[in-house]
A and B are shown apart, each in its own frame.
Chain A
Amino acid sequence: MLDKNQIAKRIAQELRDGMYVNLGIGIPTLVANYIPSGVDVVLQSENGLLGMGPFPFEGEEDPDLINAGKQTITTVPGSVFFDSAMSFGMIRAGKVDLTVLGAMEVADNGDIANWKIPGKMVKGMGGAMDLVASAKNIIVAMQHVNKAGESKLLKQCSLPITGVGCVKKIVTELGLFDVTERGFELRELAPGVTVEEVKAKTEGRLVVEGDIPVMNL
């Protein structure tokens, strides 16, 4: 089974040199810690920055320089600031190559739910609906089951959805899945996880073909 950092590390292996990447809040943010050497990516923060750097050194925090999670950050050489309309313009126009985000539920047709739990406090979708509606490639980082042990990889989302048929790939603590017309296609198993465990914890259509390799971290 993978921990949060290992999920982030596996997703980081999907990064390619020259990509523009938007990382969501939570596990996706950790992906920035594992960018492979020799791979040069530009991180987009949807509040108006391309070229997001690490957190500032103590004492150098600037309240005018934050990321979409409202955390103080820094720039890198080549960074650029822009306004929110342009930020979502570049997202909508498909200029951002990869979006990594978390999810409460994903359906086997690629629907994603990650913004609202009816009856509980609703905080809003922020930029998630814009991102999932337009990103060319979406990887979801999520836990395979909820706290009650119920599958979060479903036939159909039970929560209000954020976007339709948009998720392309999922990495959970159990493995890596491509989301295709056939459903969740198991591509890699996390170390120590069996196909039987994945089957037991996946409610949606699961495709397991041939020998499934163990994830190389």
Chain B
Amino acid sequence: MNKVYTDAAAAVADIQDGATLMLGGFGLCGIPENSIAALVAKKVTGLTCISNNAGVDDFGIGLMLQQRQVKKMISSYVGENAEFERQLLSGELEVELIPQGTLATRCLAAGYGMPAIFTPAGVGTEVAQGKEVRRFEFNGEEKDYLMEYAFEADFAIVKAWKGDTQGNLIYKDTARNFNPMMAMAGKITIAEVEELVPAGELDPNFIHTPGIYVHRIFQGVNYEKRIEQRTVRKRSTE
């Protein structure tokens, strides 16, 4: 078994025009920077991207939008991106906005082998249009739930802190976010990691994503890790 690829270009080489991709990350935190750069270089187009956000103008998925590589975005929040707004208003880009927890759980369902979930998020709103509603008595109250389908993605592309040659992954801090459930949901899952180690070096007790879900792994390089909102406090001088 060899899951280790030399670099991002090799790992994404067979992603074709029109593919459906899941891309991990929340804002610019925990995004697969190397793989995005490789997809931009590869000039693959007509992509459907399932990702919580759409990057900023000149970083993250924003780089793919600049090259008109994305046909459709499925996201929960797409602010902070002027090029995105332009393409949306001109009709070049299709966008499906869904609640953040629904997005996460539709990925999770795929990784757990379940075709659908029921969630109260969006009941009574335009998100519910055309969806099956079921009433359940659960958790001490009776209320309506929407049926939402598990996502199916040709490729899930995630970023982890550490990984081993078996594909086992560990994430760092809030860079974990959507990466674990997307890793579980891809027909083919590609993981880029800051530190790739031989099998046996990660403590099995502290692995977040078991390697069974990960098909390809590579050592990432030159992480920029751009900060979207740099907020600090002054040190007290007392």
**CA A55 to CA B178, docked complex, whole Å:** 23
Q: List the A side residues contacting B101 at CB < 8 Å.
A: 46, 84-85, 87-88, 91-92, 127, 129-130
Q: List the A side residues contacting B232 at CB < 8 Å.
A: 55-61, 72
Q: List the B side residues contacting A64 at CB < 8 Å.
A: 29-30, 161, 172-175, 225
B234 & A134 in contact (Cβ 8 Å cutoff):
no
B97 & A125 in contact (Cβ 8 Å cutoff):
yes
Q: Is A41 an interface residue (CB 8 A)?
A: no
Of the stretches A145-153, A155-163, A170-178, A195-203, the one at the interface is A155-163
**CA A105 to CA B122, docked complex, whole Å:** 17
Asked, given contacts A84-B26, A124-B77, A162-B125, whether A72 binds B229 with beta carbons under 8 Å apart, the answer is yes
- Looking at the complex, which one of A47, A72, A85, A162 makes contact with B227 (CB distance below 8 Å)? A72
Instruction: Give chain A interface residues in 99-130, CB to chain B under 8 Å.
Output: 111, 121-130
What's the minimum C-beta distance from B137 to chain A, rounded to whole angstroms? 14
Binding site for B on A (CB under 8 A): 45-49, 54-73, 81-85, 87-89, 91-94, 111, 121-130, 133-134, 160-164
What's the minimum C-beta distance from B151 to chain A, rounded to whole angstroms? 12
Q: List the B side residues contacting A72 at CB < 8 Å.
A: 227, 229-232
B127 & A123 in contact (Cβ 8 Å cutoff):
no
Q: List the B side residues contacting A126 at CB < 8 Å.
A: 76-77, 100
Size of interface on B: residues with Cβ below 8 Å to A = 59
CB nearest to B109 among chain A residues: A85
Q: Is B186 an interface residue (CB 8 A)?
A: no
Q: Is B163 an interface residue (CB 8 A)?
A: no
Q: List the A side residues contacting B126 at CB < 8 Å.
A: 160
Binary A-proximity of B144-183 (CB < 8 A = 1, otherwise 0):
0000000000000000010000000001111111111100
CB nearest to B103 among chain A residues: A84
**CA A54 to CA B181, docked complex, whole Å:** 28
**CA A87 to CA B102, docked complex, whole Å:** 11
**CA A193 to CA B78, docked complex, whole Å:** 39
Instruction: Give chain B interface residues in 76-111, CB to chain A under 8 Å.
Output: 76-79, 85, 88-89, 97-105, 107-108
- 17 A-B pairs with CB atoms under 8 Å apart are A48-B26, A57-B233, A64-B174, A81-B171, A81-B174, A84-B100, A85-B105, A85-B181, A87-B104, A123-B77, A124-B77, A129-B127, A130-B102, A130-B119, A133-B121, A134-B120, A134-B121
